[in-house]
Amino acid sequence: MININDIKNGMTVLIDGNIYLILEFLHVKPGKGPAFVRTKLKNLRTGSTIEQTFNTNIKLEKAIIEKKPMQYLYGSGETYNFMNMETYEQMDLTKDQLGEDAKYLKEGLEVDITFYKGEILGITLPEKIEYEVTHTEPGVKGNTATSATKEAELENGLTIKVPLFINENEHVIVSTKDGKYDSRA
């Protein structure tokens, strides 16, 4: 058990049987009344974010989560196969377990898979991933006063908007936070 005053960003705690990641916290001491802690928590099972306020005398149970480095090998329908980088054991995850992160996977990509007491909570992708552009229309010269973009299909099937100067077979870097083009590789 940890005191609410000892929490830090990135810490994981158990509240009402759910596992939460502490995204933000703020100690508030109003002029009248007792002090309290305002927190922003992310549910690691559902991915939803909540804001909750705690009195300063509350104790929370710390959730010990484990991250294992894994390499994505291949996908087959709704199943995605990963290999443990240390033991070479393979495991399958479903599209439901991966959620939105599944669209960023490509063969050979290294990710961290998060576990809590054997339960798979999800994966942690790198912030930016390099992909090859497999199809895009040629850029048309003309009105480029604003930042003009076009659609490009990447090697894993993901379609994103890229600047006009990007051509097929070029490598681009995509941010996994918002799914947008970041730069040329």
**21-39: pLDDT as tens digits:** 999 999 999 888 899 999 9
Tokens of 53: 């306020």
**106-145: pLDDT as tens digits:** 889 999 988 888 888 888 889 998 999 898 888 766 655 5
Under CATH, which number does the domain 2-62 receive? 2.30.30.30
Q: What is the pLDDT of residue 181?
A: 86
Q: What is the pLDDT of residue 123?
A: 87
Task: Answer whether 43's CB lies under 8 Å from 58's CB.
Answer: no
- CA atoms within 13 Å, Cβ hemisphere of 67: 9
Q: What is the pLDDT of residue 146?
A: 63
Q: What percent of the chain is modeled with pLDDT above 90?
A: 24
pLDDT reading at 40 higher than 90: yes
128-184 placed in CATH 1.10.357.10: no
> In the chain, what are the domain boundaries?
2-62, 66-124, 128-184
**Mean local confidence (pLDDT), 86-105:** 87
**Mean local confidence (pLDDT), 177-185:** 84
pLDDT reading at 4 higher than 90: no
Q: 66-124 and 128-184 share one CATH topology?
A: yes
- CA atoms within 13 Å, Cβ hemisphere of 134: 8
Q: What is the pTM of this model?
A: 0.74
Residue 45 — pLDDT band, cuts 50, 70, 90?
A: confident
Best CA proximity match to 70, nearest among 130, 118, 123: 123
Q: Give me the chain's average pLDDT, please.
A: 87
CA 141/CA 118 separation, integer angstroms: 55
- Distance between start and end Cα atoms, the chain: 46
66-124 placed in CATH 2.60.40.1580: no
Q: What is the pLDDT of residue 48?
A: 87
DSSP for 105-118 reads --TT-EEEEEEETT
